[in-house]
Amino acid sequence: MNATLHLDDVTRVHGSGPTEVHALRGVSFRAHAGELVAVMGPSGSGKSTLLTLAGGLDTPTAGRVVVDGVDLAALGGAGRARMRRTSIGYVFQDFNLIPALTAAENVALPRELDGQRSRAARKAALAVLEEVGIPELADRFPDEMSGGQQQRVAIARAVVGERRLILADEPTGALDTDTGEEILRLLRARCDAGATGVLVTHEARHAAWADRVVFLRDGVVVDESGADPVDALLEPGMSR
């Protein structure tokens, strides 16, 4: 079985000449259906870079990013945008909510853009807002919510609908320990139901909900804990 997400020897260099920054240096990474993988590492080690590449929000300087068997580079801008609306849920480190839309509208937006009727999209949005524990805030605007509440709206937006790949960049940074754990329970449940999850976090306690924990440092994978799922071991010709 192939991985839902596959980064193959990926390098990302920002800028050039003396200001050149190697954010990732030849990273190979895989995440399978049903698997939650955590990425940890010091600030600046390349975690967000890895996630934006996986989500098709950025393109690698070298190497390939393959989602659901499709090379994102071959997909083109429009194709990547469609994939982001339908198959990829992304929780941004800085939430990225649309200020002019309410919580429910923010969550419903990707479904509506994808052609779902607004009533159905709102219903789905309300259901996930309930799951993240803020059903009563559906009609509030982002600037009327606390940081932790906004973060939960951002999470709801990323998990609404049948996303096969959920990418979350520090999704618990603004949450207290108990609420953070509820969010991990939610991500874990989505993965147990067949989604693929990648979670960037500074908190080992949250990373421990993952099947595997990958440690990045200076743009390189330095260590990994936890077992690969059995089917990954059967993948021929793909060394870790």
Ligand X SMILES: Nc1ncnc2c1ncn2[C@@H]1O[C@H](COP(=O)(O)OP(=O)(O)OP(=O)(O)O)[C@@H](O)[C@H]1O
| 207 near other proteins, judged by CB under 8 A | yes
Which residue, 16 or 239, has its beta carbon nearer to ligand X? 16
Q: Roughly what angle, to the nearest 10 degrees, separates helices 147-159 and 177-192? A: 0
Among 5, 29, 31, 45, binds ligand X (CB under 6 A): 45
Spatial separation of the C-alpha atoms in residues 205 and 185, rounded to whole Å? 12
Cα distances (angstroms) measured from residue 99 to each of 81, 124, 239: 21, 20, 45
| 226 near other proteins, judged by CB under 8 A | yes
| 209 near other proteins, judged by CB under 8 A | yes
| 42 near other proteins, judged by CB under 8 A | yes
Spatial separation of the C-alpha atoms in residues 73 and 15, rounded to whole Å? 20
Among 12, 32, 38, 48, binds Mg ion (CB under 5 A): 48
Q: What angle do CA 231, 232, 238 make, to 5 degrees?
A: 140
Q: Give the rounded distance of the alpha carbon of 162 from its chain centre.
A: 14
What does 15 interact with, of ligand X, other proteins, Mg ion, none (CB < 5 to 8 A by kind)? Answer: ligand X
Task: Determine which helix (DSSP H) or strand (DSSP E) holds 60, and give its type and residue range.
Answer: none
CB of 37 to ligand X, least distance (A): 15
- Binding marks (x or -) toward ligand X, 57..96, rule CB under 6 A? ------------------------------------x---
CB of 21 to ligand X, least distance (A): 4
CB of 83 to ligand X, least distance (A): 21
Rounded to the nearest 5 percent, the helix, strand and coil shares of the chain are 40, 25, 35
Number of residues that bind Mg ion (CB under 5 A): 1
| 223 near other proteins, judged by CB under 8 A | yes
CB of 143 to Mg ion, least distance (A): 23
- Of 4, 34, 51, the C-alpha closest to 229 is 34
Burial 121-148, CB ≥16 within 10 A → b, else e: bbebbbebbebbbbeebbebbbeebeeb
Q: What angle do CA 55, 58, 63 make, to 5 degrees?
A: 90
| 44 near ligand X, judged by CB under 6 A | yes
- Which residues contact ligand X by CB under 6 A? 14-15, 21, 23, 41, 43-49, 93
- Which residues contact other proteins by CB under 8 A? 42, 185, 188, 203-205, 207-210, 213, 215, 222-226
